[in-house]
A = this chain, B = another copy of it.
Amino acid sequence: MNTEIKEILKRSQLSVTASREKILHLFLEEAGALAHGDIEKKAGEKFDRVTVYRTLQTFVEKGIIHTIPTVDNSIRYALCKDNCADGHHHDHHIHFVCSHCKNTYCLDDIVTPEIKLPKGYSSAHIEVVVEGVCKNCN
């Protein structure tokens, strides 16, 4: 399969396997974020559910993908644009959920704003999720 994919895996010190290649490929060709279920469907039911779970977990740990908070109960994953150090995602972009097409996008160029917290609170990380209508649906 694609050489780029193999390189991403090797750079993260992961052995190159069919499922990892396939799943990473799905993220690379997909503009939006993917939930576990999406991946199972798109992968063409080749892989065991457990393998998908473990692969996603590994990718998050290695900083290849990151999770996106949602109001409904589905974890969504998207590619990290820059390489994140193992487990330390230094992405500070915001996320956009389209209420029409239901896709979730990373808006990589929009940086999370600073938030003034009340006294006594210290901030380590800020997540911003904007809901609305996306470019394609507008």
Which residues of A come within 8 Å of B, CB atoms?
67-75, 94, 96, 99, 107, 109-110, 113, 115-136, 138
Instruction: Tell me the complex Cα distance, A68–B128, Å.
Output: 12
Copies of this chain present in the complex amount to 2
User: Which residues of B lie under 8 Å from residue A67 when comparing CB positions?
Assistant: 71
User: Which residues of B lie under 8 Å from residue A121 when comparing CB positions?
Assistant: 96, 107, 130, 132-135, 138
- Judging by beta carbons under 8 Å apart, are B129 and A133 in contact? no
Instruction: Tell me the complex Cα distance, A137–B69, Å.
Output: 24
Instruction: Tell me the complex Cα distance, A109–B115, Å.
Output: 12
Q: If the complex has contacts A69-B70, A71-B69, A113-B113, are A123 and B131 also in contact, measured as CB distance less than 8 A? A: yes
User: Which residues of B lie under 8 Å from residue A127 when comparing CB positions?
Assistant: 69, 71, 127-131
Q: How far is the CB of A129 from chain B (nearest CB, A)?
A: 4
